[in-house]
Chain A
Amino acid sequence: METLITQYSETIRHAAETATPLCVRGSGSKDFYGGEAVGAAFDVSGHKGILTYEPSELVLTARGGTPLEEIEALLAQNGQMLAFEPPHFGPGATLGGCVATGLSGPRRAYSGAVRDFVLGVRMIDGRGDDLRFGGQVMKNVAGYDVSRLMAGSLGTLGVLLEVSLKVLPRPAEELTLRLEMDARHAIDTMNRWAGLPLPLSATAYHDGVLTLRLSGAESAVAAAHVKLGGETVANGPAFWHGLREQTTAFFRPDAPLWRLSLPSATPPLEVSGRQLIEWGGALRWLSTDQKPDAVRDTASRAGGHATLFRANNGARREVFQPLAPAVLALHQRLKNAFDPHGIFNPGKLFTES
């Protein structure tokens, strides 16, 4: 694997010298996400394998190209999990891609996002240098938190060679419940219940039904069920899996799919299109043919932002909410610090010049 790293460094140095953009890519399961790909395909999925895993330390370190499936299977054997429930969106989804896209699943509002679990990285920057930041311990404040910065950076800062993650025990018991109510009432309920000591681990609302998941000690889940009421959903895991992987009917590609990240108590959005709410109200999926500006405007008026998540064959320009000028300038300077020749995934996350 060290040979592979040397090869990657050489590819990057050569690209830097010739000012050739590289499109950094793992399995390609999330190719649809972010700005249009530019540059020569740079496949880094070959750098794979789990390096260290000690269940009692709650830490796993693996190479960037390691399939998420492999990591999740090993964790499951040891009664543990990736608590941010990363969506795969394809069979070979890699750890590197998971961290680079920074996408988290149904448990996010209750356990945290990818960035909350990243402890350390080994990466190659735009000079071809092999660097390490963070570590394999849970508390570490030495140096700026470069490893968390990598989460969601869409490969624009460097190639992730290794990632160390905090992992958590799987809950002893999980139960999925459904309650019928309107959207306004559902948003209020999700927020109120999140403010009570209840073992909530996921919530979703669509089409008059609030679905929620309780996770924890058996007795705690049973007691919360009694408190909250609701009807038990027979195949709870399948429901949450469908939501995480966007395989349920709601996600049928009949219009562009927007992801609106909003303050959780934002009232139901008065917009045309189909909506599905997750994360206790903080995530709103919107399938709509509305103009991008109108969707972004809706999001920013509510204090959040909108992402054109799946363009469904439409144009993928300005996928993300534009950054304020001072913040954009900072992004450009940071990008330059990591990738002075601007070779990694140009334009994938923001306008670089």
Chain B
Amino acid sequence: MPHPELLSRLRTFLPEEAILHQREDVKPYESDGLTAYRQTPMLVVIPQTEDQVRNILKLCHELGVPVVARGSGTGLSGGALPLADGILLSLARFQQIISIDPLARTARVQPGVRNLAISQAAAPHGLYYAPDPSSQIACSIGGNVAENSGGVHCLKYGLTVHNILRIRALTIEGEILEIGSEALDSPGYDLLALLTGSEGMLAVITEITVKLLPKPERAQVVLAAFDDIEKAGAAVGNIIAAGIIPAGLEMMDRLAIAAAEAYVHAGYPLDAEAILLCELDGTNEEVSEEIMKVRAILQSSGATELRTAQDEAQRLKFWAGRKAAFPAVGRISPDYYCMDGTIPRRQLPYVLTRIRELSLEYGLAVANVFHAGDGNLHPLILYDANQPGQLEKTEAFGAKILALCVEVGGTITGEHGVGVEKLGGMCVQFGSKELDLLHAVKAAFDEQGLLNPGKAVPTLHRCAELGAMHVHHGELKFPELPRF
């Protein structure tokens, strides 16, 4: 039931169609890309101007109503999951590409603009926006900034944080913040870095200036098959040790290969234990030189088969299998749960062995898809939500995988964010003092905790309740909390 004063005051500055409050109207907003978590919001607002956003935030601040901002809602960690007593602030109508400056290689865009739309608009100038999360046809640039999204080309071209110059944002109090600029740096703290990946907890973004890069002259991909996943892992290290930074370097294991092949017929070798896709881009000469080097390295690393895409059509075909890996796995299992840990690459054999052991222990199959170049692992746990207890079992298995990533020196999330999904993992990765400081950072922006509360950084009590604590350096975490 909407807060009566909230609704009447929203109506003073928002047109009726920008406010949804009937149950059947707000219901479609109950989840983002992580559909395992659902919550119907108290109401949804869909403003069209920055002024309207500002008034909404000021009003929520005054009345103490929590706000969850959302772009396209494709996020995979429940970062834009609504709150029962809160407003869902949709930025879907902020769809304008305000300007493109081909000489300075920048684009000023509104937060609801789709990631791919930026590259499409920049294409006539021979430019593009580099980060390419797999959801790029749908995900919004505002959401990308909130999550610091990556993609398959991160190793060479970086994450969102490396590819934006400036944001304009509003605090919960309705103050306008101009952060960064069209120059390469700004005086004071690097708030641009702090806000990128802050999961909508610190401010609401209303405009972004992104960097555009020249489109490489040529891209070429090599597919290598291995009869042993460890050899494939070693090959990745050998390529990088040889001084080559591939534009993309992806690995898939046997189950992922089989699922992808059955789905898109990319021509993947079905008898391989692992395949690597190594894409090189740059000038024509550079690519020719490096492709020969990479082939030699893959050969000496024990590849059982090597194929270089002969033309653009074949290059796209090689990628089609990798890009369709998630839906392909979705075809062979009623449900799957996608993990997002990052590990130091040298730990890959150990981590994969442990995942295999855990898979047997839990009786749940796992397909591994891996951004091998930067160590970002996406194990997909196959399960059936209709079978009682399987989701819980899957989540327990997932938590073990994340703890494993932390144990080997990695992180619980490489690119999907913490959201609501990995709050437990945060307790494993951070100590209570670090979490305290993260809460203090949040309070510096939003003292009352009204922006996306309950996401990204767990409370110490939650960590204690989850029991997801490690004895780190011999110290007990959260010693100040009671235990029962």
Asked if A333 is at the interface (CB within 8 A of a chain B CB), the reply is yes
What residues of A have a CB within 8 angstroms of the CB of B344 in the complex?
54, 57, 59, 136-137
The 8 A CB mask of A308-337 against B (1 = contact, 0 = none) is: 000000000000111110111011011011
Q: Is the CB of B444 within 8 A of A330?
A: yes
Contact of A263 with B104 in the complex, beta carbons under 8 Å:
yes
Q: Which of B147-155, B301-309, B393-401 contacts A (4 or more CB under 8 A)?
A: B147-155
Distance from B113 Cβ to chain A, minimum over Cβ atoms (Å): 21
**Interface residue count for B (Cβ, 8 Å)?**
97
Q: Check B154–A139 contact: CB distance below 8 A.
A: yes
Number of interface residues of A (CB under 8 A): 88
Instruction: Name which residue of chain A comes closest to B285, CB basis.
Output: A219
User: Nearest-CB distance from B102 to chain A (Å)?
Assistant: 7
Which of B233-241, B312-320, B357-365 interfaces with chain A?
A: B233-241
Q: Once bound together, how far apart are the Cα atoms of A35 and B44, in whole Å?
A: 47
Known: A56-B241, A139-B415. A116 touches B158 (CB 8 A): yes
Chain A, 214-225, contact with B by CB distance < 8 Å: what is the 0/1 string? 001111101110
Alpha-carbon gap, A146 to B191, bound state (A): 10
Contact of B346 among A54, A336, A350 (CB under 8 A): A54
The answer to the question of B283 belonging to the interface, with a C-beta cut-off of 8 Å to chain A, is yes
A326 CB contacts on chain B under 8 angstroms:
171, 175-177
| Chain B residue at smallest Cβ distance from A149 | B194
Contact: A139 with B104, CB < 8 Å? no
B286 and A305 form a contact (CB under 8 A): no
Q: Is B41 located at the chain interface by the 8 A CB criterion? A: no
With A199-B286, A330-B445 already in contact, the answer to whether A142 and B426 are too (CB < 8 A) is yes
State whether A141 and B418 are in contact (beta carbons under 8 Å apart), knowing that A131-B434, A334-B444 are contacts in the complex.
yes
Interchain CB contact under 8 A, A148 and B425: no
Q: Which of A191, A195, A198, A222 has the most CB of B within 10 A?
A: A195
Inter-chain CA distance A216–B287, complex, in Å, is 11
Chain B residues with CB under 8 Å of A153's CB are 189-190
Return A202 CB to nearest CB of chain B, in Å: 14
Q: What chain B residues lie within 8 Å of A58 (beta carbons)?
A: 240
- Is there an interface contact between B444 and A139, defined as CB atoms closer than 8 Å? no
Name the residue among B188, B342, B456, B457 with the largest chain A CB count within 10 angstroms: B188
Measured CB to CB, the nearest residue on chain B to A263 is: B182
Closest chain A residue, CB of each to CB of B212? A195
Nearest to A172 among chain B residues (CB) is B243
**Are A192 and B103 within 8 A (Cβ)?**
yes
Q: Mark B231-261, 1 if CB is under 8 A from A, else 0.
A: 0000001101101110000000000000000
> A148-B194, A216-B286, A320-B187 in contact; A139/B126 too (CB < 8 A)?
no
Give the shortest distance, in Å, between A92 (CB) and chain B (any CB): 25
**A135, CB-defined interface residue at 8 Å:** yes
B295, CB-defined interface residue at 8 Å: no
Question: Are A139 and B414 CB-contacts (below 8 A) given A115-B193, A197-B215, A330-B445?
Answer: yes
Specify the chain B residue showing the minimal Cβ separation from A2.
B473
Question: In the assembled complex, which residues on chain A have CB atoms less than 8 Å from the CB atom of B440?
Answer: 337-338
Q: Is B437 an interface residue (CB 8 A)?
A: yes
Question: Once the chains bind, are A152 and B197 in contact (CB under 8 Å)?
Answer: no
User: Using an 8 Å CB-CB cutoff, how does the interface string of B177-188 with A read, 1 for contact, 0 for none?
Assistant: 111011111111
Chain A, 277-315, contact with B by CB distance < 8 Å: what is the 0/1 string? 001001100000000000000000001110100000000
**A132: Cβ under 8 A from any B Cβ:** yes
For residue A260, give the distance in angstroms from its CB to the closest CB of chain B.
9
In the assembled complex, B454 has its CB within 8 A of some CB on chain A: no
- 3 A-B pairs with the lowest CB-CB distances in the bound complex, closest first: A169-B243, A148-B193, A139-B414
In the complex, besides A131-B433, A132-B434, 13 extra interface pairs with C-beta distance below 8 angstroms are A116-B161, A125-B437, A131-B434, A132-B430, A138-B376, A139-B159, A141-B418, A143-B438, A145-B196, A194-B214, A217-B286, A305-B186, A337-B441
Could you show 19 A-B contacts with beta carbons less than 8 Å apart? A56-B241, A56-B345, A131-B433, A135-B410, A137-B375, A141-B197, A141-B414, A141-B416, A142-B422, A144-B438, A146-B438, A148-B193, A191-B104, A195-B127, A197-B283, A199-B282, A216-B283, A220-B286, A331-B189
Q: Interface on A for B, CB 8 Å cutoff?
A: 54-59, 79-80, 102, 108-109, 112-113, 115-116, 125, 129, 131-133, 135-146, 148-149, 151-153, 157, 168-170, 172, 188, 191-192, 194-199, 216-220, 222-224, 261-265, 279, 282-283, 303-305, 307, 320-324, 326-328, 330-331, 333-334, 336-338, 349-350
